[in-house]
Chains A and B, each alone.
Chain A
Amino acid sequence: MKKIYFLSFCFALLFKLASAQDNGKTIGVSYQQAGIVQVVSDLESKTGYHFFYNPAQFDSLKVTLQATDRTLAAVLNLAFKGTDFNFTIKDKFVFLIKGRQIAANLPPGFFTSTQSAAIPASTVTDYSTDQVQQKVAEATTENKLYEIGLRTNNIKPGNSTLAGYVRNIKTGEAVIGASIYVPDTKTGAASDQFGYFSLTLPRGKQTLIVKGLGMKDTRRRIILYSDGKLNIEMQEQVTSLKEVTISAEKVANVKSVEMGVNKLDIRSIKQIPTAFGEADVLRVVLTLPGVQSVGEATTGFNVRGGAADQNLILFNDATIYNPSHFFGFFSAFDPDLVKNIELYKSTIPEKYGGRLSSVLEVTDRDGNKKNFTGSAGIGLLTSRINLEGPIVKDKTSVIFGARTSYSDWLLSLLPPAYKNSSASFYDVNLGITSQIDDKNTIYLMGYVSQDKFRLNSDTSYAYGNRNANIKWKHNFNNKLYSIFLVGYDHYDYNVSSTQNAIDAYKLDFGINQYNGRLDFTYYLNPKNTIDFGVSTIYYSMNPGQEVPDGKQSLVIPQIVPQEQASENALYLGDKYDITPEFSVSAGIRYSLYAYLGAQTVDNYAANLPKTAINVVDSTTYGKGKVINTYKGPEIRLSARYNLSDDLSLKAAYNTLRQYIHLLSNTTSISPTDTYKLSDPNIKPQFGQQISLGLYKNAASNTIETSVEVYYKKINNYLDYRSGATLLLNDHVEQEVINTQGKAYGVEFLVKKTAGKLNGWISYTYARTFLKQDDPNAGELINNGNFYPASYDKPHDFNFNGNYRVSHRFSISLDMTYSTGRPITLPIAKYEYGGSERVYYSDRNAYRIPDYFRTDLSMTIEGNHKVHQLTHNSWSIGVYNLTGRANAYSTYFQEQGGVINGYQLSIFARPIPFVNYNIRF
């Protein structure tokens, strides 16, 4: 087939092409079931023209035709009518071909200089237009030259857009965050959460360098004629001795406009030892620079001086309100399904909003589109299983994961007083990806988690997340695509106690969030990528209700009225590459929040503390009535300047607004913390951050270094009056005080991404202060001076290293040091109420001892034979290798009339762990 083309063109070139087609001569023919040979020889003899064709193509053709006084063209038209055969007459030559038509004339300007004139693309015949759908090139090979777009002999100057998906060749799932980089032009793009990329680059021969997280680096050679599609299939990183990738975004570190973004794939997450041996997403987040926590047994984390509720945790685009299981020992994300995580600390994309400090995106894998596979893991406290496979091969896949705990054996070892205790959790994930066609993909996710614990048959606690969403991705063309999302997020907990029939109660809290989002990404031109969209959230919250449990109970039902609000936003952002060296990303998000009825709101006397005695009156609003609104723009600005190829300078300025507040006056996040929506008496939080960073890569991008400094201001952060009661309080405004916060810090990161030895070292110096100096608030904390927030830990050092001894054996070492957390210490003692009591210092005036921990883990893989039923691996390790008794907290307790100081450690000894994993 191709030969014929080629030959045809050769002929066309060899012969003189100047004269016009001879249409004058007419002939008469009569065929009865004539084969091509017969027809051609007859026509050749009658016209003197010479025919070129491939007899094999025409073997099915039988011509029955009676005609007189027709031109050759008319005869051929009649002969081929209703078939897919075509002909072209040029001078004395006739070309017959099946399926398409040959252009006998060269495109204008073929022999003239390419610069001479702009040539309209329409003059180039598109050979593919006859086909209904052009197959998108599946570029699997490195050395092959892929032709993109409508082929022309001479390549037009200018740019064209190349778009497509980056996928894993083995499972067919999208590779997120893969960078596609064109070294010649120093332009690049990163695949989005769907593996989709769009890149505008000069037409002509190009080499694309493709790097993906956990994927083998690869390149594609293309010749770009016009806009076109190219799907890139990448191979998974094979465990090799020479090259182990932790983050493949090697170039992105320096070249991307974003700053303060950390991305990790599950491979590096799994390298980090954890207390019970199960890979833990949130634990790893804590090792990143600028991320701190109040202690070990909490999954709440603080980003750059922000509170734990100022992080937006998105799990496949669903908001997770409580990301922890089992008193915070496990995170809610099943490590067998998680593909990667991305933490935005500084440049928060304009499409996200609603939280002040950070966005943590946790993304699960898509199911395997080619084969059914699965894995299972067995640990000391939990087991997990995951299954995945195609429903429709190469089109629709499903992934399912479940985890459950069996910790009751552990609890049965407790002293008899706690024998009747129980604690358990489970979570279930389901993901379905369906590629309807080239332009439409549907993603479905469902997540359920539940925790239960009961203490000595007294009080039972339960909490859980429920999330579901559906996403529809539609590609309008190479340059524009949209994502439409609808989702439902839910979190609830309940506490009940039935031991004393008179006091028996049941307490419930629940939050429902209905989301809708429409996002567009438009690759305007090589220099501009525009994102825009709208989002809406409707909150419906049960802030708490306590009802009697049982007939004998005298408990008065206490129901805090349901709260409703809506949070809407509109955003527009542009990433603009002004020069190859200088790029700017500018975005604006306008958010509008409305607190909605039905609700009764207390009105307080102006300029007086919000206390019960200062309530003037109250207003009742009907269902759906807008009680009050808060609105304002949020600015997201960042810029990058490349000082050299591997050195860049970045700056960013961000403002954010937060309308939902976590109410917790305990040290760490507890399962019974409640949320509060902003209302006329509780203002939304407002945060501003300015940051500056220097990024340098070395040793052919295998070593990444960065320094970032930031300064942050927070307005209206909620702190609490002494002894505040937050649960079941329908006048929360009487218990909270607005504080102003400031935070600043510098973060250093050195990361080695390749080689037998890889890992990262980070050091952060950061301070966070709060201040409550509004005399109208009634209570001044520390006389209105700045005081350190309870997560203010100035020095924070992390080391994560992994050494691959062989293909089957690797060792990881993890070291953490940080300054002790601030506490309020007793500074004096006295006798009162029959016992010694303590008098406390100013809030957070002292610190607990510094924190230091070392963990070690080893992964031993079974043999690497490809064809075997199961692949298995062991991970063995020791958490807190040095056995240092790190103080989680210090406290002073009256016992028998004497005050004793205690230091409480959670993991005060080396804790060995073992985990068995199996893949099938």
Chain B
Amino acid sequence: MEKTICIFFLLICLIAGWESCTKSYTPKIVAGNLNYLVVEGFINIGNDSAIFNLSRTVKVNAGVDTAVETGAILNIEGIDNKSFPVPELGKGKYGVAGLSLDNTKQYRLRIKTTDGNSYLSDFTKAKLTPPIDSVGYTQLSNGIQVYVNTHDPNNNTLYYRWAYNETWEFHAFYPSFYYSDGSAIQQRTPDLLNFYCFTNTASTSITLGSSAKLKQDVIYQQPIIFIPATSEKIESRYSILLKQYAMTSDEFNYWQSLQKNTEKIGSIFDSQPSEIQGNIHCISNPSLPVVGYIGSTNMQSKRVFIAKTDLPTKWVATYPYSCPLDSFLYCRPPYCINDVAAHLIPQPSEEVPTTAIFGSDGLPVGFLGSFNTCVDCTIRGTKQKPSFW
């Protein structure tokens, strides 16, 4: 329904003027300091580590994003009364290496925080995640839609969640062959070139899928992310590491409500926000809300690459900055002003030489140059090639 509303607003905004349709809004909230415990993670029944992040809610208008919870004592408890401590890794992160838990047993998480409160999650059945069949993309006129295919031959998984890490190679606007060492302009050696870089990002939205209403447990071309044709992500080579998690219907509902509450609120036809309780409870103070849902599953992942050569050549990435090219001469007529000495050599400088301008005698009379942000890709990435590249 959110699309309906989209068009609906577009319509109105056409008449009314787009920019006036939505405005930033900061409500005056008088509520006190609501620092509820937030627990994120899952009991890993696979061979990887079980990682939990503990934090506290903060005021909406607080400057900080989140307040990490340190000093808590965590234990994974089995229904068979086995207990596995989860030590703190630092910065609110708690983890324990592959416990090789029995996936036929139920497990729960016990937390004791430094303020004396005890928290306990409900026992949950382990859900085994089936492997990802393929990650592909559909080429559309204005970009690509990355999708996933998976299935469970046992028709047992039904509820899925995906997260991903994207890595891509991109380049600066101008290649630069010279640099200033603070006293003179030097030619770049290959290891000082800063035209090609790598960068990465993790998923920030919740991607959920369900085959519960299909006859077979098949997920076919589930959209994961749309990359516009003008995105730098696909200007050279792109890679996505997709992580797949299976869930119970209860956990799925939790994520769905979380998704509804934070990603789909605000249109006329969207449902009213309402806080949904996860499966963690404060046992020392039952009225104290706790945020989070602790399921038990394993993760399946798959990495794929998409090369620029497989995409339309006419697709050109939009560079995020404006990049005028300027000339800097050693002797700019009529007063023979030395632009190079004035602008390029002193460090730090906003402007960086790209290529040399040669005089009729074959010697450089100056340089073409542009802004740092247009020349140096390391401002937004790293030259370090990832291990999987």
Contacts and interface: CB of A to CB of B under 8 A. Distances in A.
B283 interface: no
Interface stretch (B3-11, B43-51, B167-175, B316-324): B3-11
A825 B266 CA distance: 11
Given A556-B213, A832-B38, A890-B27, A840 B261 contact: yes
Most chain A beta-carbon contacts within 10 A, residue among B205, B216, B292? B205
Nearest to A896: B204
Interface string A482-503: 0000000000000000001011
Interface in B230-270: 253, 255-258, 260-263, 265-270
Interface string B49-63: 000010111111010
Given A297-B268, A790-B272, A835-B204, A909 B8 contact: no
Contacts of A827: 29, 31, 34, 59-60
A834 B256 contact: no
A183 to B, nearest CB: 52
A824 B274 contact: yes
B232 to A, nearest CB: 15
The size class of the interface chain B forms with chain A is 35 or more
B62 A902 contact: no
A908 B4 contact: no
A455 B204 contact: no
A327 B3 CA distance: 13
A558 B29 CA distance: 44
Contacts of A411: 7, 11
B22 A904 contact: yes
B20 interface: yes
A47 interface: no
Contacts of A892: 60, 262, 265-266
A640 B336 CA distance: 101
A80 to B, nearest CB: 83
Contacts of A298: 268
B57 A828 contact: yes
A769 interface: no
Contacts of B58: 828-830
Given A418-B10, A828-B34, A894-B204, A908 B57 contact: no
A277 to B, nearest CB: 12
Contacts of B36: 828, 830, 839
Nearest to A722: B274
Given A838-B262, A894-B204, A908 B66 contact: no
A307 to B, nearest CB: 13
B268 A909 contact: no
Interface in B177-229: 202-206, 213-216, 218, 220-221
A666 B268 contact: yes
Contacts of B220: 500, 502-503, 554
Nearest to A912: B15
A666 B266 contact: no
B213 A894 contact: no
B214 A556 contact: yes
B213 A453 contact: no
A354 to B, nearest CB: 27
A187 B266 CA distance: 55
Interface in B271-300: 271-276, 289, 291-292
A908 B7 CA distance: 16
A423 B6 CA distance: 13
Contacts of A458: 3
Contacts of A841: 31
B387 interface: no
B262 A894 contact: yes
Contacts of B56: 830
B23 A839 contact: no
Contacts of A672: 1, 269
Contacts of B40: 831-833
A628 B218 CA distance: 41
Contact of B1 (A554, A670, A834): A670
A900 interface: yes
Given A461-B4, A723-B274, A832-B258, A905 B20 contact: yes
B145 to A, nearest CB: 11
Contacts of A831: 38, 40, 53, 55, 65-66
Nearest to A502: B220
B359 interface: no
A832 B163 CA distance: 12
A456 interface: yes
Contact of B272 (A665, A830, A896): A665
B265 A908 contact: no
Nearest to B255: A833
B142 interface: yes
Given A829-B58, A829-B62, A840-B275, A901 B268 contact: no
A453 B60 contact: no
A416 interface: yes
A416 B271 contact: no
B25 interface: yes
A909 B274 contact: no
B133 to A, nearest CB: 14
Contact of B25 (A295, A418, A890): A890
Contacts of A21: none
B10 to A, nearest CB: 5
A502 B221 contact: yes
Given A903-B22, A904-B266, 8 more contacts: A554-B216, A826-B273, A827-B29, A833-B40, A833-B204, A838-B60, A894-B205, A911-B16
Interface of B: 1, 3-4, 6-12, 14-17, 20-27, 29, 31, 34-36, 38, 40, 53, 55-60, 62, 65-66, 142, 163, 202-206, 213-216, 218, 220-221, 253, 255-258, 260-263, 265-276, 289, 291-292
12 contacts: A411-B11, A413-B14, A414-B10, A556-B213, A722-B276, A824-B273, A827-B29, A828-B57, A839-B275, A841-B31, A897-B204, A903-B22
Interface of A: 295, 297-298, 327, 407, 410-411, 413-418, 421, 423, 453, 455-456, 458-459, 461, 500, 502-503, 546, 554-556, 558, 665-668, 670, 672, 722-724, 790, 824-841, 843, 846, 885, 887-894, 896-897, 899-909, 911
